[in-house]
């Protein structure tokens, strides 16, 4: 379903519609770029549910949203909003440094970032449906993501 296309980061419903019209296969709903939030000393959390709902209503392509590592309540909220995928994301401030979410108890598929095969296998054992390389969103540092391939 997502093969052969771009998953575009968007911060408004209007951007999501533009991305869909331009051929994106999915959008990632973000309130702000997590790297900017952390640079300002803040805690990067799940995006505002109202924003996510507006994006879901604006497009017909899949909508993804990020939750913090280990924060199962954020994942429950995202599932109840009706997102198509949940990204348990390292770019947000972790809620639990040791334990990731048990993804088997959710109906919505999870996407997780990995640096190596061992990490990928651990995320799959937890129930991840899709694996991606890790990078630092918003920095433009492609080398960091490629290094983990």
Domain spans, the chain? 7-147
pLDDT of 116 reads 87
What distance in Å separates the CA atoms of residue 123 and residue 116, rounded to the nearest whole number? 11
Tell whether the torsion through CA atoms of 32, 34, 37 and 42 is positive or negative.
positive
What distance in Å separates the CA atoms of residue 131 and residue 108, rounded to the nearest whole number? 15
DSSP 8-state secondary structure symbol assigned to residue 98: S
Average pLDDT for 119-146: 78
Q: List, by residue number, the catalytic residues.
A: 66
Element (H, E) at 86: strand 85-89
pLDDT of 133 reads 81
Class of domain 7-147: alpha beta
Q: Can you give the length of the chain in residues?
A: 149
SS3 state at 11: coil
């Amino acid at each position: 379903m997502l093969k052969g296309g771009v998953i575009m980061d968007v911060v408004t419903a209007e951007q999501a519609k533009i991305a869909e019209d331009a051929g994106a296969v999915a959008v990632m709903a973000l309130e702000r770029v997590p790297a900017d939030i952390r640079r300002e000393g803040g805690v990067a959390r799940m995006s505002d549910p109202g924003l996510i709902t507006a994006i879901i209503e604006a497009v017909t392509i899949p909508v993804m949203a990020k939750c913090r590592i280990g924060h199962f309540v954020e994942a429950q909220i995202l599932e109840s909003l009706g997102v198509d995928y949940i990204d348990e994301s390292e770019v947000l401030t972790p809620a639990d440094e040791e334990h990731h979410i048990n993804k088997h108890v959710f109906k919505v598929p999870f996407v997780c970032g990995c640096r190596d095969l061992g990490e990928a296998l651990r995320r799959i054992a937890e129930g991840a449906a899709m694996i991606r390389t890790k990078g630092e969103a918003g920095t433009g540092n492609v080398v960091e993501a490629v290094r983990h391939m």
